A and B are shown apart, each in its own frame.
Chain A
Amino acid sequence: MTDTTSQPIPSQRKNLAQQLELDTRLLGMVGAFVILCLAFNFVTEGRFLTPRNVFNLTVQTVSVAIMACGMVFVIVTRNIDLSVGALLATCSAVMAVTQTDILPNMLGLELGHPAIAPIAIIVGLVTGAIIGAFQGWLIGYLTIPAFIVTLGGLLVWRNVGWYLTRGQTIGPLDETFMAFGGTNGTLGVTLSWIVGVLLTLAAIAAMWSGRRSKASHGFPVKPMWAEFTMSGLAAGSILGFIWILNSYEIPTRRLQRLFEARGEIMPDGYTEAYGLPISVFVLIAVAIGLTIMAQRTRLGRYIFATGGNPDAAELSGINTRLLTVKVFALMGGLCALSAVVASARLANHTNDIGTLDELRVIAAAVIGGTALSGGIGTIHGAILGALIMQSLQSGMAMVGVDAPFQNIVVGIVLVAAVLIDIIYRKRTGAH
């Protein structure tokens, strides 16, 4: 064998996207999303891109987006989960019963006690994770196809949820718990700016530490200008988003009521803005956590390896059965988290909560570039997919398209997105 230990690294001429090391597929999706928003904004004469609508849009997206993040891992490992909407309902029912009945009536925590919300949420998360793990065990260890297990799960958990509440709506939910719903729980202007700045700093730090680690091994790094451009883009989009949310002012009537509730009188001309909703903050935290898991942990690496070639993963010593249990347990936990957001937004647990969410969640993941053949998918793609679907739906509603036709359009978009993906992958030879 030859004794070369280092090799010259070829430098080729690259286009702008390559120099910035941008994912062109992601770029295409962002482009489509921007065009969509601008088009709706034009047709609605500027009503689509108001701070108020952007706020509502993001709040409406959160529940599906959180589950779509988990669905990425499920689909990447060549599985599917049709039970997420039903599991959301069961978790929501469990949490509603816990906070309105079990804790106050059986354990004697008076209504409004600050421990109610955290206990209810933990109970919900554990319930979701256990049910998910159980389904994962049926799939991984008993080798029942995921499609069947979760199709069964859809029927089972939807109706377990029904029995837990006897089909009744339960509410109102705990005050603190409802802070996860959107309008009822926002960070306010100052805190939102702080979060925005911290996120910006974290994003820039991540980029530069990646650069440093590459450079320390003598690998090629992006040119400085590209690094600054990317940092600028990241800062611009994060802070821009915060700025929009901070521009959505709380209606005066609502403010007056808030002051009255505290027994104070609102000073004249007082204004306050909503800022970042807590639910959106939760989604951001989930997205960051899961992206790190996907890209930088062994678990994430094994999930993708198993999706790419299950036999190879097994031969490399990866316990793919246990991995399946973990992936479905994570999915179950995320369903519970979505249940917190969804029921808090409605201020009640309703019997039909999460109905058809499995389809929205799968569609979001797939529009976001997750390949059903396994091994490929990103968290940010799935969130963008969820956002695109929600924008389509609200945009059409705003324009006055009737509901049946909205669904027809969303269905067509789903199929078209996958077709474009297939063509794109063939063209670029990408995977």
Chain B
Amino acid sequence: MATPLVEMRDMSISFGGIKAVDHVSVDLHPGEVVGLLGHNGAGKSTLIKMLSGAYTPDSGQIFINGEKADIHNPRDARRYNIETIYQTLALADNLDAASNLFLGRELVTPLGLVDDAAMEAETRKIMGRLNPNFQKFSAPVSALSGGQRQSVAIARAVYFNARILIMDEPTAALGPHETQMVAELIHQLKAEGIGIFLIDHDVHQVMNLCDRASVMKNGELVGTVNVKDVTDDDLLGMIILGKHPHETAA
């Protein structure tokens, strides 16, 4: 088997006695979409935040392309070309779309001053691809709808040539049409060889988009399955009962 793009081995983290993630291992290959499923509070967001550098794990190791990765903060994660769409979107509400898209990675003029016009031009380009209806380029993102804000967060993750993309409930605020567009985007990125962790509540969506699915419950990993080998109901069973459907499966 080829070296995985990402391997998270035996990850654990607790918050004041609560074991949010408890000895969980997951992996991800290039061009693969791995779904993360589980109830609210199962620990999905916390798990991926250890990959994106937002949290430092209590124990466990992360390997990128087979090499041990030191990820202590979001800047480290960006160095490994890990991009994240957070569940909370992580947008600065008082800034406009372009400032958010380039936050921490501003384009600058030769004098070192931030080049707002260039950043807006780039933002217009990528939004034209992701959400052609988006027009509010000079408004603070607080003035945008939930779906528009979500597309800004998606654009930010996609713009910087991620190799590893983490999407934490990326379609939560989107309508059916926009959700479909995100599904197409995932297909396209997958074809480019990007590895994607997709957290989603919609089991059906996971069955359609993902190659494999890892299910979590109460901070623990219930199991990881190939979606081809299971039905929607099998996955639901894993989420609700916390039990593996087939004793022999992957």
B129 pairs with A5, CB closer than 8 A = yes
Contacts of B99 in A (CB 8 A): 301, 305
B147 at interface (Cβ–Cβ under 8 A)? Answer: no
Mask of A270-311 contacts with B, CB within 8 angstroms, 1/0? 000000000000000000000010001110011011111101
Cα-based distance from A314 to B120 in the complex (angstroms): 22
B117 pairs with A308, CB closer than 8 A = no
A15 at interface (Cβ–Cβ under 8 A)? Answer: no
B90 pairs with A312, CB closer than 8 A = yes
Residue of B94, B121, B140 contacting most chain A CB atoms (<10 Å): B94
A318 at interface (Cβ–Cβ under 8 A)? Answer: yes
B86 at interface (Cβ–Cβ under 8 A)? Answer: yes
State how many angstroms separate the Cβ of A53 from the closest Cβ of chain B. 38
Contacts of A10 in B (CB 8 A): 135
**Which single member of A1, A7, A301, A307 contacts B181 (CB below 8 Å)?**
A1
Chain B's closest residue to A218 (CB) is B121
Q: How many residues of B contact A (CB 8 A)?
A: 46
A217 at interface (Cβ–Cβ under 8 A)? Answer: yes
A431 pairs with B142, CB closer than 8 A = yes
B125 at interface (Cβ–Cβ under 8 A)? Answer: yes
Contacts of B92 in A (CB 8 A): 304-306, 308-309, 312-313, 375
A305 pairs with B103, CB closer than 8 A = yes
With A2-B132, A315-B54, A316-B104: A217-B121 Cβ-Cβ less than 8 Å: yes
Mask of A371-385 contacts with B, CB within 8 angstroms, 1/0? 000011000000000
State how many angstroms separate the Cβ of A320 from the closest Cβ of chain B. 11
Cα-based distance from A213 to B110 in the complex (angstroms): 14
Contacts of B95 in A (CB 8 A): 301, 304-305, 308
Mask of B50-87 contacts with A, CB within 8 angstroms, 1/0? 00101000000000000000000111001000001010
Chain B's closest residue to A213 (CB) is B117
Cα-based distance from A317 to B75 in the complex (angstroms): 5
- Interface range for A: 35 or more
A214 at interface (Cβ–Cβ under 8 A)? Answer: yes
Cα-based distance from A309 to B128 in the complex (angstroms): 26
A317 pairs with B73, CB closer than 8 A = yes
Contacts of B104 in A (CB 8 A): 302, 316-318
B118 at interface (Cβ–Cβ under 8 A)? Answer: yes
**Which single member of A2, A3, A305, A316 contacts B74 (CB below 8 Å)?**
A316
A424 at interface (Cβ–Cβ under 8 A)? Answer: no
Contacts of B132 in A (CB 8 A): 2, 4, 7
Cα-based distance from A213 to B118 in the complex (angstroms): 9
- Count of chain A to chain B residue pairs whose CB atoms are closer than 8 Å in the complex: 111
With A305-B103, A317-B104: A7-B124 Cβ-Cβ less than 8 Å: yes
Contacts of B184 in A (CB 8 A): 1
Contacts of B140 in A (CB 8 A): 431
Chain A's closest residue to B84 (CB) is A315
A6 pairs with B90, CB closer than 8 A = no
Contacts of A375 in B (CB 8 A): 92-94
Within 8 A of A (CB), among B177-223: 181, 184-185, 188
B135 pairs with A7, CB closer than 8 A = yes
A404 at interface (Cβ–Cβ under 8 A)? Answer: no
Chain A's closest residue to B79 (CB) is A317
Contacts of B103 in A (CB 8 A): 301, 305, 312-313, 316, 318
Mask of A346-381 contacts with B, CB within 8 angstroms, 1/0? 000000000000000000000000000001100000
Contacts of A307 in B (CB 8 A): 94
Residue of A1, A304, A306, A313 contacting most chain B CB atoms (<10 Å): A1
B124 pairs with A298, CB closer than 8 A = no
Within 8 A of B (CB), among A181-214: 213-214
A309 pairs with B91, CB closer than 8 A = yes
Contacts of B124 in A (CB 8 A): 6-7
State how many angstroms separate the Cβ of A187 from the closest Cβ of chain B. 28
A263 at interface (Cβ–Cβ under 8 A)? Answer: no
State how many angstroms separate the Cβ of B167 from the closest Cβ of chain A. 15
Contacts of A304 in B (CB 8 A): 92, 94-95
B74 pairs with A315, CB closer than 8 A = yes
Cα-based distance from A332 to B75 in the complex (angstroms): 29
Within 8 A of B (CB), among A415-431: 429, 431
Cα-based distance from A301 to B107 in the complex (angstroms): 12
Chain A's closest residue to B181 (CB) is A1
**Which single member of A219, A297, A317 contacts B117 (CB below 8 Å)?**
A219
Chain B's closest residue to A214 (CB) is B117
State how many angstroms separate the Cβ of A304 from the closest Cβ of chain B. 6
Cα-based distance from A3 to B94 in the complex (angstroms): 30
Cα-based distance from A40 to B99 in the complex (angstroms): 43
A301 pairs with B114, CB closer than 8 A = yes
Cα-based distance from A318 to B108 in the complex (angstroms): 17
Contacts of A314 in B (CB 8 A): 54, 74
Cα-based distance from A213 to B100 in the complex (angstroms): 20
Chain B's closest residue to A307 (CB) is B94
Contacts of B121 in A (CB 8 A): 217-219
B129 pairs with A1, CB closer than 8 A = yes
B88 at interface (Cβ–Cβ under 8 A)? Answer: yes
B234 at interface (Cβ–Cβ under 8 A)? Answer: no
State how many angstroms separate the Cβ of B114 from the closest Cβ of chain A. 6
State how many angstroms separate the Cβ of B94 from the closest Cβ of chain A. 4
Within 8 A of B (CB), among A45-68: none
* Given A312-B89, A315-B84, 8 additional A-B pairs, CB 8 A: A4-B132, A6-B124, A292-B113, A313-B92, A314-B54, A317-B78, A375-B94, A429-B143
For this complex, 18 residue pairs linking A to B, each with C-beta atoms less than 8 Å apart, are: A1-B184, A2-B132, A3-B129, A5-B125, A6-B125, A7-B128, A213-B115, A213-B117, A216-B117, A217-B117, A296-B113, A301-B103, A304-B92, A312-B100, A316-B90, A375-B94, A376-B94, A431-B93
